[in-house]
Amino acid sequence: MLKGFLHYSINRPNIIHYTLWVLVAIISIYVFGSTYRNDDPFKCNSLLNDGSFLDSTEHRNWQPSSCMMKKYNTQSTTTCLKNQRILFVGDSTIRTLFYSLIKKIKPTLNVTSQPKHSNLHFTFNEVTFEFQWDPYLNNNSTDILLGESHERSRGLFGKRPSILVMGSGLWYLRHRESGGINEWKKTIDKIFDAITSPKDYFSIADAIFLAPVERLVHEKLSPNRATTMSDEDIYKMNEYLKVKQKEKDLLDIPFVFNKIVEEAREETEDGVHYSDKITNIQADILLNYRCNDLLPKKAPVSNTCCNRYPQMKLAQFSIFVFFLVLLPIGIYYKIFEYRSNRLLEKVIPSEPILFSLLIFGLAVIYMYLSDRTSLFSKSHKQYDVYHFTLLTILYLIGGIFSLKTKDKDQPFLNRDQTDEWKGWMQLAILVYHYTGASNVSGIYNLIRILVASYLFMTGYGHFIFFYRKADFGLKRVVNVVIRLNLLTIMLAYVMNNDYLFYYFTPLTTFWFFIIYITMYIRSSHNNSMIFLLSKIALSCTIVYWIILKPGILENIFSFLQIIANINWNVKEWRFRMQLDLFIVYIGMLVGLILIKIQEYKITEKNYWTTIKRYSIIISGIVMIWFFCFELTRENKFEYNEYNPYISFLPIVAFIILRNSTQYLRNTTSGLFTFVGKCSLETFIGQFHMWLAGDTKGILVLIGDGQWGFLWWINLIVTSTIFIYICYYLARSTGELTNWICRSTITATSNIKGSDNPTDPNVVQVIIDDNEKFDDHENDNNTMIKICNICEKLMNNLKIRTTLLIIIMWIINLHYNKL
């Protein structure tokens, strides 16, 4: 045991400590966070008590403290409230809120024609809405609702309300003869006394809200109102409500209503009643509190206020057990157990693979904790031109200051250059997603070009590989597919998301197979230009027909649903494919042109200088034209119609300009190259550990998601963790891909003190020369024989690949049942 420990400490002194401490830290944070936030685990109190506008002028994007609020529409509101009764009781401010809730289902409701100081009754989409005019909350019907039995209440009002909203206060101030604040306090006491237990609460309604006394904009009040309703009195009344709520914490009082109106004082004309924008947000708060936990829990999980996350399925739990229990046991055995066991040595992979699995698993678990639990807060996105510009300038400065020039002349579109290209594009996409810039057409159009650029490189890189090496073996296919999909497929299972949700991976995987099939068919004739171009043209035509012809994709997806329980959105996939339908073929053609330029040594011809000069001039003109064109489109939907046909122009122009001089060709940015090497992981990982709510919001580790100094601190912290994890995730994914695609599984001797690193592509059977095995006990063991047979079978890549497909097929068939 001691020798094993010493041997380990010489070769790998730090990794075990770091990885195990990270594991302990994650568990500790989760337990501590759950305990610390137990007073408001589902952010219900946060929803009702605090928040701010992210758009201080438009007043449309309200950010509750620490959670993301759903904006309810007709469908979601009807789903929650169907066959239910909604009851509002109070004054004109409550009536305004009542109308806003109805407009969630009936947006065209004409409220100006409705009587003011009277009861109202509506039924839309099988939802009953009632308003009882009772500005003092003291008429007979309100007394019966609060003070009598559930049966009598139902006899007077009908069905027990799903939502009951009451509000009073301003009329007590406006009409002093009513008794003023003292009489109002008696009314409030009566309401609180009527609800002394959960049984009393639910005998009245499913959710009861007592609105705070609304703050007023005095400079806009009429003279009669201004003389009787003072801010001091309203403040005293709301403080009294806070005291009463602390005494009996059963009644929900959305004090946040006053924060909303305080930040939107210009949204009122008379100082009392606010615009539909404001009351619509208040109605959303009520619906979020009542409905979020009742709606179907499926991705995207973007409404995190007052909502419990979906329970973990058995498949998800099994993955967690593997990474958090079985894997650490395997690591412990490999490192600390000196006496070898032949059976375990055959089952447990080598140390480098175990550590790669651990890093991979911890990264996935961190994503789950970040985006499928209430451990960390989430906030909405809000586009701000200054934030977007500043972040863009910062990463450009970082890229410029990390420029390095190589002494040796580099080839056209060399590896460092493509990594750099991927890197700065990935940073641009990250900033675009984080700042919510998708609604800005000029920025969206540019991002579409960046996505097309990735696909261009897919066509370019794979074409050159297959053309030059003609390696169409299974190992190449499996290696590429697993490298692209390992993280995505694991996240699809762990996060219970659709595979197509991580659209970049399906796109690149699909196009890899298209390129493979195109180049594989009669590959011995690929040297014939006519034949090769004909194949590419035919492939393009077939793919175009499959994607755009109605019914073909529908039938394919229906077949997948029947045989593998795969439910993919045909409309979304067709949209993604159609946007970049030709760019992969352009990448293949550019690759072919470059190969032919090298074959015919065009660069050594006298006319090459002329070609180069005019190419640079034309490329500059194309770039200027494109920027003018995309910025002058009316909206991004109009631009999408052009993108499949023009996206190659700025891409090819950029490549030419980027390689226009030897200095530019040999100079690359270290920062951009670094990010580019893990661009796949950053593209996929951002969905759950930098963004949140399945990309709809932002992950918040520090602060509550509102604008301010802590917003920037949170950005720095989450970004640092995100990039760090993605870097090591890329390395571990690469090692795991090589291990899965390994050629052989061999037994090797463990030479103590050897400095030779362990080959991650080989599963080692460690043999200690100092250890004596009991041949009778081990060699004749049935399990050993079975393992030997399995080992021989698993040496075959076809069998390993088939086994992986069968496992995924079984999981798909039973995932929703587990």
The tens digit of pLDDT for each residue in 274-291 reads 999 999 999 999 999 999
Residue 789: is its pLDDT beyond 80?
Answer: no
pTM score: 0.88
- Degrees, nearest 5: CA angle 683-686-689: 150
**pLDDT 10s digits, 450-477:** 999 999 999 999 999 999 999 999 999 9
Q: Which amino acid is at 682?
A: T
**pLDDT 10s digits, 563-581:** 988 889 999 999 999 999 9
Write the DSSP assignment of 759-816 as a string of letters: PTTS------TT----HHHHTT-HHHHHHHHHHHHHT-HHHHHHHHHHHHHHHHHHGG
User: Across residues 235-255, what is the average pLDDT?
Assistant: 91
Please report which confidence band the pLDDT of residue 123 belongs to, taking 50, 70 and 90 as the band edges.
very high
Query: What is residue 752's predicted lDDT score, i.e. its pLDDT?
Result: 35
Write the CA distances from 28 to 14, 17, 31, 36, 327, integer angstroms: 21, 16, 5, 12, 19
Q: Can you read off the two tokens belonging to residue 387?
A: 């934030």
Between CA 373 and CA 356 the distance in angstroms is 25
User: Across residues 119-137, what is the average pLDDT?
Assistant: 92
Please report which confidence band the pLDDT of residue 340 belongs to, taking 50, 70 and 90 as the band edges.
low
**pLDDT 10s digits, 522-552:** 999 999 999 999 999 999 999 999 999 999 9
So which residues are the catalytic ones?
Answer: 92, 270, 273
Between CA 691 and CA 677 the distance in angstroms is 21
Between CA 750 and CA 764 the distance in angstroms is 9
Residue 337: is its pLDDT beyond 70?
Answer: no
CB neighbour burial string for 451-476, b if at least 16 within 10 angstroms, e if fewer: bbbbbbbbbbbbbbbbbeeeeeeeeb
Query: What is residue 743's predicted lDDT score, i.e. its pLDDT?
Result: 67
Q: Can you read off the two tokens belonging to residue 176?
A: 């002093």
Please report which confidence band the pLDDT of residue 787 belongs to, taking 50, 70 and 90 as the band edges.
low
User: Are the C-beta atoms of residues 639 and 442 closer than 8 Å to each other?
Assistant: no
699 has which bridge partners? 378
- Average pLDDT in the chain: 86
Query: What is residue 149's predicted lDDT score, i.e. its pLDDT?
Result: 47
**pLDDT 10s digits, 11-57:** 444 555 465 556 556 655 654 555 455 677 888 999 999 999 998 88
Between CA 276 and CA 268 the distance in angstroms is 10
Write the DSSP assignment of 125-194 as a string of letters: TTEEEEEEE-TTS-SHHHHHHHHS-HHHHHHHHSSPPSEEEEE-SHHHHH-GGGTHHHHHHHHHHHHHHH
Query: What is residue 42's predicted lDDT score, i.e. its pLDDT?
Result: 87
Residue 314 has phi, psi (to 5 degrees) of: -60, -40
How would you classify the pairing of strands 127-133 and 85-90? parallel
User: Across residues 470-488, what is the average pLDDT?
Assistant: 94
Burial class, 348, CB count within 10 angstroms (exposed 0-12 / middle 13-18 / buried 19+): buried
Q: Which amino acid is at 441?
A: S
DSSP state letter for 374: S
User: Are the C-beta atoms of residues 512 and 458 closer than 8 Å to each other?
Assistant: yes
Q: To the nearest whole percent, how much of the chain has pLDDT over 70? A: 87
**pLDDT 10s digits, 582-617:** 999 999 999 999 999 999 999 888 899 999 999 999
Name the region of 245 (left: φ>0; alpha: ψ -120 to 50; beta: rest): alpha
Between CA 111 and CA 619 the distance in angstroms is 59
**pLDDT 10s digits, 355-406:** 999 999 999 999 999 999 988 899 999 999 999 999 999 999 999 999 999 9
In angstroms, how far is CA 332 from the centroid of its own chain?
Answer: 34
Query: What is residue 11's predicted lDDT score, i.e. its pLDDT?
Result: 42
User: Are the C-beta atoms of residues 791 and 346 closer than 8 Å to each other?
Assistant: yes
Residue 176: is its pLDDT beyond 50?
Answer: yes
**pLDDT 10s digits, 406-418:** 988 888 989 999 9
User: Are the C-beta atoms of residues 165 and 290 closer than 8 Å to each other?
Assistant: no
Between CA 513 and CA 458 the distance in angstroms is 11
**pLDDT 10s digits, 634-678:** 999 999 999 999 999 999 999 999 999 999 999 999 999 999 999
**Closest among 79, 153, 86 to 120, alpha carbons compared:** 86
User: Which residues, 6 or more positions from 742, have their beta carbon under 8 angstroms from its beta carbon?
Assistant: 761, 762, 763
Query: What is residue 33's predicted lDDT score, i.e. its pLDDT?
Result: 57
